[in-house]
Structures are given as structure tokens and as C-alpha cells.
Copies of this chain bind each other. A is one copy, B any other.
Amino acid sequence: MRDRIRPVDLAKSYLLLNHGPVTLVSTAFHGRRNVMAASWAMPLDFDPPKVLAVIDGSTFTRELIEASGEFALNVPFRRIADKVLAAGSVSGRDGDKFAHAGLTTFPAERIGAPLVCDCAAWLECRVIPEAHNQRRYDLFIAEVVAAWADPAVFSENRWHFPDAARKTIHYQAGGAFFETGRHVECGG
């Protein structure tokens, strides 16, 4: 995978989440790993880039994030929407959820969490410890330490989706998503 993806300028990495796509949060710690779907993730700052993610206190992902201080936000392609849903509906405590959901991975560069194949973009994140936010709101603040995109869909700091299968998706509820739709350009 690594030779087929391109680094994204860290100060532009917010563009990968700006339009509000669903994400897969991947984590690992001491040989255990997990993945969950998360709609509640977004940019928090440009440079150094930060993100926010809401990670429920009951999840195995939460355990691994608190143990490792790291996670990746993966921005999945439409063609794996069913796997995103599977990753959102079972617990990784019951076995390897990547295998269960049919998700394959490749290594990250700066963090221990694996990155998920068949995604448009990836943000490698290190948690900025904020105990009050984590405890009270299940809210994590993290710095983006590396960012990547598939050049077929994102290059020169802009999205250009070549086909429906490789669009990003936005979660509604009850197993339904929206595709990222048509480009709307406004007058200067």
C-alpha cells in the first residue's frame, strides 16, 4: 500500500476531514488492535494540526487509545461501506474486528496503530492528554503527526473523486450513509 499513497502536508491535513466524512478509528497496543466506525471526528486546528474524536468509554478502542496514546483516523471509500458498518456494530473484545469486518491493513509511519486499506485518506494521531474532556465527555484531542491520501482521489490539496466506488461517505443512522456528492463552486 505505502508505495501507492502520498503524504499530505500536515498543515493541509484538515482538508481530509473538512467535509465531514465518516471515519474508521484504528488502534493498537502491545499486540492487541481494534477498529471502530466514528462519525464524530473533525479537525480542531490547522498548524500544528489537531483533531477531535468522540470515543465512547465502554469501547475496546477506548482502552487501546488510553493505553497507547495513539490512533489513526481512516477515511473509508464508499466501496467498503458495508465493512464500515460491520466495524460499527460489534465489539473488538470478541475477536479481531478487522478480520470480522473483512478489513485489511498496512503499517502506519509514526504510530503503532495499523492503517486500513480501501480508504481515501489517513491521519496518524497522538493524543494530547486532557483527562477532564476524556472522562466527562468521551472527547479526545490529538495532534496529527502524519497524513496520507490516495492520489487517485486527493492530490495538490484537493479532492477529485474519479468514480462512485472511491467516494467518501457520510453516516446518517440505521445502516445508511450518504455519498459525498457533486462539487459546488461559488463565485469569487
Q: Which residues of A contact B (CB under 8 A)?
A: 15, 18-21, 39-45, 50, 52, 54, 78, 81-82, 85, 132-133, 137-139, 141, 157-159, 164, 167, 169-188
Rounded to whole Å, the gap between the CB of A118 and the closest CB of chain B is 15
Chain B residues, CB < 8 A from A52? 42, 52, 139
19 further A-B contacts with Cβ under 8 Å, apart from A19-B39, A40-B44, A45-B137, are A15-B173, A18-B170, A18-B171, A19-B170, A19-B178, A39-B43, A40-B43, A41-B42, A44-B137, A44-B139, A45-B138, A132-B132, A158-B173, A169-B184, A170-B170, A170-B180, A177-B183, A178-B180, A178-B184
Interchain CB contact under 8 A, B20 and A21: yes
Interchain CB contact under 8 A, A181 and B182: yes
Q: How many copies does the complex hold?
A: 2
Q: Which of B54, B167, B174, B188 contacts A181 (CB 8 A)?
A: B167
Chain B residues, CB < 8 A from A175? 185-188
Rounded to whole Å, the gap between the CB of A78 and the closest CB of chain B is 6
Interchain CB contact under 8 A, A182 and B185: no
Chain B residues, CB < 8 A from A169? 184
Please judge, given known A-B contacts A167-B181, A181-B180, A182-B179, whether A18 and B173 are in contact too, CB under 8 Å: yes
- Nearest 7 pairs of A and B residues by beta carbon: A20-B20, A181-B181, A179-B181, A19-B170, A177-B184, A85-B186, A179-B182
